[in-house]
Chain A
Amino acid sequence: MTDYLLLLVGTVLVNNFVLVNFLGLCPFMGVSSRTETAIGMSFATTFVMTLSSLLSYIVNSYILAPLGLEYLTTMTFILVIAVVVQFTEMVVHKTSANLYRLLGIFLPLITTNCAVLGVALLNNREQHGFFESIVYGFGAAVGFSLVLIMFSAMREKLANADVPSPFKGSAIAMITAGLMSLAFMGFTGLVKF
């Protein structure tokens, strides 16, 4: 149990996918201009990441590994992720038209969110078990959501701030992201691996 908790905290804070591993930066910059959209994106990504890490573990350890086809992992994982994203898109379209409209193009773009593929591949590399894979995928998604929502809240404040003209727009967003990354370095050493 402690192992799982440590893995979760470690993935959410210490090895944060966005700010420490620099994965999934596209939605991090793209969907963070409004908090409402960021929250929607977070939920969609959390769902996709957890499900795809679980599915890719199953596919990898029960289909690819016994047949000695590990060299196909990347290709298969991309397939798995694409399917999960398509499925999520259908469910969101059916259940919440408003959220579907807010997420717009970013929902199908979860497919190309490298953090999702990153989770699946890192699970494979670190030889995570069934539950570890789920915890790792969920932790990565929670870390992504946490950072995305905090960043979008800051960007909403920044929209009203008196920023010097050379730093307006994307420039100040990049600087903010950099400062957040520095702040997250403070978590290093919180969990000993």
Chain B
Amino acid sequence: MSTLIAILVLGAIAASFGALLGFASVRFKVEGDPLAEQLDALLPQTQCGQCGYPGCKPYAEAVANGEAINKCAPGGEDTIKKIADLMGVEVQPLDENHATDNTPKVAFIIEEDCIGCTKCIQACPVDAIIGTTKQMHTIIADECTGCDLCVAPCPVDCIEMIPVATTTQNWQWDLNSIPVVQID
């Protein structure tokens, strides 16, 4: 009889604790790795792979696990500073291997020279190149992130990186660069 009581009591205790934990796991649910999510939000999302990772999300996860924070070339010093603030570490200069100039560029295919080999299409991380085998390729300029990855695979060197001219369409007005506040 006393054994039965012991089993019942222990079972009841365990069940109530289980219910508590079940409640807590719903109440304190964490979607993904919050740190990696926050880092991913800071990265420029060019998916260029210049950091050595296949995209911005994998690099964000690697940084969350202790990878160096200074590998994002498109983001530049600004992004490094934001990541350093979030991670609570020192700001580091951009890694030399990953340093490039930061002017926004767009790829351009010299169409007379294109032989239709599709190698640049496979390299493009954002599917901004259209064309097919033995057909001329071209670049959707609006989709191109200027990541350089298509330049190296081209066997006839017909891809150029052209700096984006500033026009009234893409000028960053940034009207809130000085925050407007109401002073009482």
Contacts and interface: CB of A to CB of B under 8 A. Distances in A.
Interface of A: 59, 63-64, 67-69, 72, 75-76, 79-80, 83, 86-87, 90-91, 93-94, 97-98, 101
B174 interface: no
Contact of A79 (B13, B24, B64, B87): B13
A80 to B, nearest CB: 8
B17 A79 contact: yes
Contact of B13 (A59, A86, A91, A93): A59
Interface of B: 2, 5-6, 9-10, 13-14, 17, 20-21, 24-25, 28-30, 33-35, 38, 64-65, 87-88
A90 B88 CA distance: 22
Contacts, number: 51
4 tightest A-B CB contacts, nearest first: A97-B35, A94-B28, A90-B28, A83-B17
A93 B28 contact: yes
Contacts of A94: 28-30
B21 A83 contact: yes
Contact of A72 (B10, B20, B25, B88): B10
Contact of B2 (A63, A68, A83): A68
B64 A90 contact: no
Interface centre among A68, A75, A80, A101 (most CB of B within 10 A): A101
B5 A87 contact: no
A97 B24 contact: no
Contacts of A63: 9, 13
A67 B2 CA distance: 9
Contacts of A80: 17
Nearest to B14: A79
B85 to A, nearest CB: 12
Contacts of B64: 97, 101
A90 B20 CA distance: 12
A63 B13 CA distance: 9
B35 A93 contact: no
B13 to A, nearest CB: 6
B24 A90 contact: yes
Contact of B88 (A67, A79, A86, A98): A98
Given A76-B13, A98-B88, A101-B35, A93 B6 contact: no
Given A83-B17, A87-B20, A87-B21, A97 B34 contact: yes
Nearest to A86: B21
Contacts of B29: 94
B164 to A, nearest CB: 36
A37 to B, nearest CB: 13
A67 B5 contact: yes
B30 A93 contact: yes
B81 to A, nearest CB: 18
Contacts of B87: 98
Given A97-B34, A98-B87, A90 B13 contact: no
Given A86-B21, A87-B24, 15 more contacts: A59-B13, A69-B9, A72-B6, A76-B10, A79-B10, A79-B13, A83-B21, A90-B25, A90-B28, A91-B24, A93-B28, A94-B30, A97-B38, A101-B35, A101-B65
A93 B35 CA distance: 10
A67 B29 CA distance: 37
